[in-house]
Structure 1
Amino acid sequence: MSTGTWTITVGIDGSRPSLDAADWAAREAQRRRLPLRLLHAGTEQAVFGRVCDADVPAGRTRAALDRAAIELSYAHPALDIIARRTATPAVPALLAAAVEAETLVLGSRGRTGSAGFPVGSVALGVAARADRPVVLVRAGELPEDERMPVVDGSSPTTAPYLPVVLGLDPDASADDLIGYAFDTAAVRSAPLHVVHPWIVPTSTLRPWRDRFPGTTVSEHRVDGDPGARLLEASARAGLMVVGRRTGRGPGRAARSLIRHAGCPVAVVSHD
């Protein structure tokens, strides 16, 4: 699924959650061997550091964007990091950036006063319209949170990854959704847990099992609304993958997961 033309792109607004999202995005870029693109959109001025960039006038303070680029370059010295600012408002800027992204990453809270705001205007606006997968990362997400607990004293960063959980609607034509979940699990060498209501035809997952023979797949059928089961599964997952129909925003279960899941949530557009 990854190609040399894509990037992992993350929106930076200076908030702590956006910096946590940038750290997650850096790890994802490293896993997929893709460049990391940091994007600061809007006219709000920043508050720290500087990094040279051809798109910014000489001497202009770049603030949060620069600090993120510097910190991530130290943490991931082999990673190709591209830092950009644009005066375009956040939602249209991020939607435009998503066109060239393998995955677009956003923090689950933005900067609007001291308390931030629940996932809403920017994050949901982008997740509801982007053509590429959008991953929403909760504030405080740490590298060890996506891996199995360590019990033998070894480094948490070398532990196996927690499962990727896919919420699947059997009525949808969801190749993009399923493909993203399988690909993400394969990149992490993680198991894939598929949660779905009713019965999924064998032919739905068989081509993907054949394409990713090294990925351990388990299916979990639930009666009725799978939202509660997905929320429960998120407490033991490294990433939750849910879909939305093209041209529509995330459904009720997806919105609940975005707000309350115990792990990052990927929203993937599909037919």
Structure 2
Amino acid sequence: MARTVTVGFDGSSESRAAAEWAAREAQLRELPLKLVHVWEPVPEPMALAALLGPETHKHWTERVPREAAAGLRAAHPEVDLHVEQVTGRPADLLTDAAKHAELLALGSRGLSGVGGFAVGSVGLAVVAHAERPVVLVRGEGRGVGEHPIQPSGTSDTGSDAPPSRPVVLGLDTTGPDDTLIGFAFEAAHLRNTSLRVVHAWNEPPYIAYGMPPDLELNAQLGAEEAAAVAGVLRPWRQKFPTVDVVEDSLSGKAANHLVDASREASLVVVGRRIRRSPFGAHIGPVTHAVLHHATAPVAVVPHD
């Protein structure tokens, strides 16, 4: 089955922003776009209320997705767009929709006054259970305009279009995964932009006790960590020779460095290890923090 770029849509401004982002991503990847309109039925007593009568139901289940699809087709005529309407629990339906997608885009509300996402329970549940990449897109501000879409019939070479912001990859050298790294390199390649790889390593434990730093030891640790990053990325540089790679091996907390890097990024790529256990899924503290505080769209790539 041909894969698609899929977006969860419920008519909210957040989902509209995600749909616009997904349309641009589908154009970059030359894939069809599937807009999955999710309608969660309300309890029967509420459904009898005047504000949730037949006209309101028709508006949200028919008019809203139809108008959204028409707007996307007008803005992105090159994209093959399909609309699918489903009814039920959004988290379950969107997790299922992700199975057949190249990636799934969801909207997240921007936090008023400070940078970052307000990731709701549905978004977190989908990220925790989907086994395909999930991209969280802000509902306001940054995110929608980060794709360097070229006019039809033109190439990136010699284009006067402004360069896209870099893609940022969070890399753990103790367990590097090809799925995660490959997604980030491909995203940078498609955007004709650079890839900034952020790796964080822990400072020696004596720092926590207020002891003076051993500059020689710190320099040695930094060099070893930087060499580890270079070793992991070497075959990927060869596979994607046109992607300019910037390697940042930094001491401190990974989440803090990734959130800082997100301010100048077109996309932040982080991983989630798939754990098939009876105790449920787990996002991981670094990915969880980046989801809530990054100011750019965040792609969570599940991997073994």
TM-score interval, normalised by the smaller of the two chains: 0.7 to 0.9
1:187 is matched with which residue?
Answer: 190
Say if 2:59 is the partner of 1:47. Answer: yes
2:298 is matched with which residue?
Answer: 265
- Percent identical among aligned pairs is 45
2:87 is matched with which residue?
Answer: 87
Identify which of 254, 275, 278 aligns with 1:226.
254
One-letter code of the match for 1:196? H
* 3-state SS, counterpart of residue 109 of structure 2: coil
Is residue 164–residue 191 contact of structure 1 (8 Å, CA) maintained in 2? yes
| Deviations, residues 175-197 of structure 1 (Å, cap 9, x unaligned) | 11001000110011110000012
CA RMSD between the two structures: 2.0
Tell which structure's C-alpha radius of gyration is larger.
Answer: 2
Is residue 25–residue 147 contact of structure 2 (8 Å, CA) maintained in 1? no
Q: CA deviation at 1:143?
A: 4.1
Separation (CA, whole Å) in 2 of partners of 1:118 and 1:201 = 32
Q: CA deviation at 1:73?
A: 0.5
Separation (CA, whole Å) in 1 of partners of 2:97 and 2:130 = 9
2:231 is matched with which residue?
Answer: 203
One-letter code of the match for 1:90? P
Is residue 7–residue 100 contact of structure 1 (8 Å, CA) maintained in 2? yes
Matches within 5 A, 1:120-159: 120-140=120-140, 141=142, 143-145=144-146, 158-159=161-162
Q: CA deviation at 1:203?
A: 3.4
Identify which of 171, 175, 179 aligns with 1:176.
179
Gaps of 5+ in 2: 42-56, 111-116, 149-159, 202-224, 276-280
2:75 is matched with which residue?
Answer: 75
| Deviations, residues 192-218 of structure 1 (Å, cap 9, x unaligned) | 000012323543111211111110001
Separation (CA, whole Å) in 1 of partners of 2:128 and 2:139 = 20
One-letter code of the match for 2:271? G
Separation (CA, whole Å) in 2 of partners of 1:146 and 1:256 = 24
Q: CA deviation at 1:142?
A: 5.3
Say if 2:245 is the partner of 1:245. Answer: no
| Deviations, residues 18-71 of structure 1 (Å, cap 9, x unaligned) | 0000000000000000000000123344636xxxxxxxxxxxx51322121010
One-letter code of the match for 1:186? H
Matched length? 241
- TM-score normalized by structure 1? 0.83
1:165 is matched with which residue?
Answer: 168
